[in-house]
Amino acid sequence: MRTLPHLLALTLAGPQLILADVLELQDGGKLSGSILSISPDGVITADLEISDSPVGIHADKVKDVSFLKPSRKFDHDTMLTLINGDRLPCDIVSISDTQLAVTTDYAGDLAIPRKIVATAQLGIRPRKTIYSGPENLVNWNIEDNWHFEDGSMVSDGRGSIARNFPTLPDSFSLSFRLKWADKPMLKVFFASDTPASSGGKHDRYFLQIGTAGMEIKRQSSGRNPYHSLITVNRNHDSFAEREARFEIRVDNRQRRLLLYIDGQLEGQAADPLPVIPDGKIVILHSDSSEAEAHRVSDIILREWDASGERHRSEDRGDFGEDALINNKGERYGGRIISSKTDHRGKLSILFKTPFAEDTSTIPTAEISTLFFAEIENATENSATPLIIGLAGAGTLGAHACTFGPDHVHLTHPLLGDMKLSRDAVNQLQRREIPAADSAPETEPDTEE
């Protein structure tokens, strides 16, 4: 195997993206081929079109990556979170006092030791994508000073670009990647009732991205036109490569907004006003007079099921016992005894609380989240140098992995050797394993 030296260092902050069928190099050139393996020390082995034999590429020499083959969509009802933070989309077959039997579209049937499971979120469903782009500016209304270039909307001075999304639901997620040339001066309006970005009495929200930080504001048609909801005091210089991925989650039914930056929750707030914005328009507005000041790409607008997010953040109670949250948000502590399946194939959970003599039988259709009792020292030696992103928002840590035409073989710290469908893998990142006294690293955002 030959080694390909002196490629451009990867420019993304945090864990570094290193898997794709196309690798972009420092000089702007590209290498095409197939990834064969990645070692624990970060050497990618790839079968490239320019070489007759496999080539070794150091991960810190890659600038950017992209997939030639899109990931297959997967439809699972449950998201398991393991004690090390890994997430497995699956369907639960049964629960015993020692294990969970699950089935998946990407790894077949799995027997997962109960002691390594932290939570099970039920009722998870694929979220409908309203928009993914841009691929062009069709249906976008340019007020002034924006153009399309290489998959991005680019600002050429002060001005706005807007689009109406008639099917925008009450609860939605808006995410995008922003790159700025010098200093960001961008507003992103959403749930707007007008395509105009000027002030005035409008019921809508906007994210303001500036040099000193980011802020989500509520614009109102009432007496006080502006209300600050979420403030992030983060200087633009803290983003080493002058870029970041933003995600705004809006749950109008619960009157709640959440702001994520590079996959990390930065703040959340409730809308204090009685009238909830129900507009369908998204606007990008540049306040910079500079040419090519902002590049906005990878815009994804989709439905958001807010119930799972609410229960993930809710106080689960005593970590030494199991807990159950039903679809009404009611939490019960006790013991998850087992499960049973009726003659129709419907699964129920047998749950015992310390306040009742009898064991309750609760259909999984009535359950939002199951919490499993925490086992001491269960996460020892579970850190891995690799993070594999799965279609359906799953993640798996790995010590090493190899890639075949149809499958990916990996060694998981808790589940051992695994074989995944290759088209289920949509991302691979390499991270530094933190020292024992360091905070755990944020998981990658794989919801895209």
How confident is the model over 345-380, as pLDDT tens digits?
A: 899 999 999 988 899 999 998 888 899 998 776 555
Mean predicted confidence (pLDDT) in 92-111: 95
Assign 381 a pLDDT band (cuts: 50, 70, 90). low
Q: What is the pLDDT of residues 29-61, one digit of tens each?
A: 677 777 676 666 667 777 776 677 777 776 666
Enter the CATH code of domain 129-304.
2.60.120.560
Instruction: Give the pLDDT of residue 25.
Output: 60
Look up residue 360 and give its two tokens.
Answer: 């309750």
Separation between Cα atoms, residue 394 and residue 44, nearest integer Å: 22
Separation between Cα atoms, residue 367 and residue 100, nearest integer Å: 16
Separation between Cα atoms, residue 265 and residue 255, nearest integer Å: 17
Instruction: Give the pLDDT of residue 447.
Output: 46
Instruction: Give the pLDDT of residue 441.
Output: 44
Assign 212 a pLDDT band (cuts: 50, 70, 90). confident
DSSP one-letter code for 309: H
Instruction: Give the pLDDT of residue 192.
Output: 94
67 neighbors 426 (Cβ within 8 angstroms): yes
Query: In terms of pLDDT, which residue wins out, 226 or 425?
Result: 226
Query: In terms of pLDDT, which residue wins out, 385 or 381?
Result: 385
pLDDT over 60 (residue 186): yes
Q: Is the dihedral of CA 17, 19, 23, 25 positive or negative?
A: positive
Does residue 381 come out as left (phi exceeding 0), alpha (psi in the -120 to 50 range) or beta? left
User: Which CATH fold topology does 2-66 show?
Assistant: SH3 type barrels. (2.30.30)
Q: What is the pLDDT of residues 138-160, one digit of tens each?
A: 999 998 899 999 999 999 999 99
Assign 313 a pLDDT band (cuts: 50, 70, 90). low
Assign 3 a pLDDT band (cuts: 50, 70, 90). very low
Assign 175 a pLDDT band (cuts: 50, 70, 90). very high
Length of the chain: 448
> For the chain, what percent of residues have pLDDT higher than 90?
45
Look up residue 81 and give its two tokens.
Answer: 């979170």
Look up residue 212 and give its two tokens.
Answer: 């000193």
Does residue 254 come out as left (phi exceeding 0), alpha (psi in the -120 to 50 range) or beta? alpha
Residue 103 pairs with which residues in a beta bridge? Answer: 91, 109
239 neighbors 164 (Cβ within 8 angstroms): no
pLDDT over 70 (residue 120): yes
In angstroms, the first-to-last Cα distance of the chain is: 34
Instruction: Give the pLDDT of residue 47.
Output: 75
| Region of poorest pLDDT, from 4-13, 196-205, 306-315 | 4-13
Instruction: Give the pLDDT of residue 19.
Output: 42
420 neighbors 426 (Cβ within 8 angstroms): no
Residue 283 pairs with which residues in a beta bridge? Answer: 162, 189
3-class DSSP state of 242 = coil
Question: What DSSP letter does each residue of 49-74 carry, written as one string?
Answer: TT-SS-EEEEGGG--EEE-SSPPPP-
63 neighbors 10 (Cβ within 8 angstroms): yes
Look-up of token digits 């040339």: 181
Q: Is the dihedral of CA 441, 266, 87, 326 positive or negative?
A: positive
395 neighbors 443 (Cβ within 8 angstroms): yes
Residue 387, φ and ψ in degrees, nearest 5: -125, 120
Look up residue 432 and give its two tokens.
Answer: 């530094």
Instruction: Give the pLDDT of residue 55.
Output: 79
Per-domain boundaries in the chain: 2-66, 129-304
- Which residues have C-beta within 8 Å of that of residue 286, sequence separation ≥ 6? 145, 146, 155, 157, 158, 159, 160, 185, 186, 293, 294
